[in-house]
Amino acid sequence: MKVMKFGGTSVGKPERMHDVASLITRDNESKIVVLSALSGTTNALVAIGDALANGDKREAKQKIDALNEHYQNFINNLLSTDAAKEKCRTIIAEHFEFLNIILKISFNEALNKDILAQGELMSTKMFSCYLEEKGIKHALLPALDFMTIDSYDEPQVGTIKVKLSQLLNQHKDIQLFITQGYISRNAKGEVDNLKRGGSDYSASLIAAAINASVCEIWTDIDGMHNNDPRIVKKTVAIEQLSFDEAAELAYFGAKILHPASIWPAQHYNIHVKLLNTMQPDAKGTLIVEEAGSVGVKAVAAKDGIIAIKIKSSRMLLAYGFLRKVFEVFEKYRTSIDMITTSEVAVSVTIDNDTHLAEIIKELEPFGTIDIDKNMSIVSIVGNEIAKTENVLTKLFDSLSDVPVRMVSYGGSPHNISLLVPSDDRTKTLQVLNKGIFGLE
């Protein structure tokens, strides 16, 4: 059994949904198809939640109506018969009724998660209507019945496996299953989600839970490229990445994959393929245990980073000092991405400022604290990077005009990370494209 995940753009137009139906019926292998919301929908739902959080019901109502109109047009072009259109409209109407009811009750964070879930619930139901109209036998698996996260927001493959196999066993005669990406239930049993871009994570978790033959991530580009194609003009697709390389790229900002989406596949050794819905025969990127080749493969950037410097000539070299510093971050469940040390100071970066004030307060007794906000981590990723000829020379030559704040090298054999002001992030990716890959 395999997993095929289609992202927002892959289902964002009626004709794309038609293409997805062809792609999933190209072979006879049984499969679980994971769908995102139509492109733009989750952003619209976030905006509706924001309007409600600000008490602006009028704006929320306008946005709900605009979204509804989009779905009415979509259904019109997705389906051919009046009967199928009518049935689909009735199903979608329930979701808009729900959004309209929320307008009348007092808003809270749990309700916001319910709002955010509507996108994937609607896309999968509409797709199911289309498959039904085409006479393609399938079953809808409600992700909310098997995708769960614990009280630390961590999904547990073991629990997902048990729940999912119970559901699959109820449909022994079915080869094709459709389910929602992104959405889950939390430890309280409420509707929750795996964070933005989370459908990739859903796909990888499902693939791990069913021990899938492969986890295919179908998107709008032919695989992982060597640089961010939204920022740099000339980029090329990478044929093969190791799980470690892919995980680093995803974590350090390559948007094509959710930051956490690689670990389930890696842990259960499920091959992952990144494929292009618009160019289904393009090779794409294969992600497996082996890197396939040595040297630098790609660069990526992650914004919203905060650098914290703790300066203390008195204490830094004392043993136990770093432990005390790390304990503060551990206490507030805030992970550190980069770390550099000198004799008198240590700098770390975090990407989550939820507990920044408390963290600073607890670090203050250790020394002088400096904070730099609006920073970006630029990561250079590859297998045994040091084996790329003159890698450090090429790197620093290209960076001569960039004010690099931190450098991390040697932590792993496949990553060099730089911390730069976010204002310089675009320039950094561009100069590295030329300096390291020779691409302009």
Q: Are 161 and 206 contacting, i.e. CB atoms less than 8 angstroms apart?
A: no
Among 14, 49, 119, 197, binds ligand ADP (CB under 6 A): 197
Q: Does 119 engage in binding with Mg ion (CB under 5 A)?
A: no
Phi then psi for residue 268, to 5 deg, are -100, 10
> What gap in Å lies between CA 409 and CA 187, rounded to an integer?
38
Q: Does 433 engage in binding with ligand ASP (CB under 6 A)?
A: no
Tokens of 280: 């289904």
Q: 54: buried, middle or exposed (CB in 10 Å: 19+, 13-18, 0-12)?
A: exposed
Q: 146: buried, middle or exposed (CB in 10 Å: 19+, 13-18, 0-12)?
A: buried
Among 12, 119, 181, 197, binds Mg ion (CB under 5 A): 197
Q: Does 284 engage in binding with Mg ion (CB under 5 A)?
A: no
Q: Does 259 engage in binding with ligand ASP (CB under 6 A)?
A: no
155 versus 197: smaller Cβ distance to Mg ion: 197
Q: Does 230 engage in binding with ligand ADP (CB under 6 A)?
A: yes
Among 2, 3, 4, 7, binds ligand ASP (CB under 6 A): 7
Tokens of 303: 């914004």
Nearest-10 Cα torsion for 129, 141, 182, 16: -30
36 versus 388: smaller Cβ distance to ligand ADP: 36
Q: Are 427 and 401 contacting, i.e. CB atoms less than 8 angstroms apart?
A: yes
Shortest CA distance to 222 belongs to which of 261, 278, 270, 265? 278
Among 49, 155, 197, 259, binds ligand ASP (CB under 6 A): 197
Q: Does 8 engage in binding with ligand ADP (CB under 6 A)?
A: yes
115 versus 256: smaller Cβ distance to ligand ADP: 256
Q: Does 199 engage in binding with ligand ASP (CB under 6 A)?
A: yes
Residues facing 310 on adjacent strands: 346, 369
* Residues 87 to 126 in contact with ligand ASP, rule: CB under 6 A: 119
Q: Does 119 engage in binding with ligand ADP (CB under 6 A)?
A: no
Q: Are 109 and 50 contacting, i.e. CB atoms less than 8 angstroms apart?
A: no
Q: Does 181 engage in binding with ligand ASP (CB under 6 A)?
A: yes
Q: Does 367 engage in binding with ligand ADP (CB under 6 A)?
A: no
> What gap in Å lies between CA 124 and CA 41, rounded to an integer?
13
* Alpha carbon distances (Å) from 308 to 317, 336, 415: 18, 10, 21
* Residues 290 to 309 in contact with ligand ADP, rule: CB under 6 A: 298, 300
Among 122, 224, 385, 418, binds ligand ADP (CB under 6 A): 224
Q: Does 9 engage in binding with ligand ADP (CB under 6 A)?
A: yes
* Residues 16 to 45 in contact with ligand ADP, rule: CB under 6 A: 36
Q: Are 288 and 332 contacting, i.e. CB atoms less than 8 angstroms apart?
A: no
Cβ-closest residue to ligand ADP? 7
**Would you tell me which residues interact with ligand ASP (CB under 6 A)?**
7-8, 36-37, 42, 119, 181-182, 196-199
**Would you tell me which residues interact with ligand ADP (CB under 6 A)?**
7-10, 36, 197, 219-221, 224-225, 228-230, 254-256, 298, 300
